[in-house]
Amino acid sequence: MAKIGGTINDVTIEYGTTADNEVKDSLVTLLKGIVKQTVAPGQTLTKIFISATTNGKHDSPRHASGEAIDISRLNGKKIDTYDSDTEVKALVDAIQDEADKQSGIRENFGPHFKHKHNTNWTVGGHDDHMHFSVD
């Protein structure tokens, strides 16, 4: 288990109340693969907001075990603006696409798509955040 920290690949990491908790090393590795300033062509990712790790109540037991994370803002903008903000859409799409390429990815839910083990998955919600989990 490890803390995610204040930056990944020169991208600032901010946390919601009680979200700065230790998570599995494999989740930190996943984040290092997807949180990059240049993840989206024509956009620069400078900041993400982690709203949940092991804090709060979740349907997924993966949060409690440190295997899941929720990201609800990119560059200070809420992800629920996905349909109306071209920057948010480009960043979300690129991050979710990049996450599907990472080894160990289990769940990749967000407004772009909902995949479990790189296959379309039916699950509610996730229009206002991205949820990633690892095996």
Q: Any idea what the Cα angle at residue 65 is, between residues 61 and 69, rounded to 5°?
A: 80
Task: Write out pLDDT tens, residues 10-59.
Answer: 999 999 999 999 999 999 999 999 999 999 999 999 999 999 999 877 67
CB atoms under 10 Å from CB of 120, counted, come to: 8
The pTM of this model reads 0.96
- Identify the CA nearest to 47 among candidates 20, 11, 3, 78: 11
Residue that has been written with the tokens 């990491």 in this structure: 13
- Identify the CA nearest to 55 among candidates 20, 26, 31: 20
Task: Write out pLDDT tens, residues 93-123.
Answer: 999 999 999 999 999 999 999 999 999 999 9
Distance CA 103, CA 60 (A): 20
Q: Quick one: DSSP state of residue 37?
A: T
Average pLDDT over residues 71-90: 98
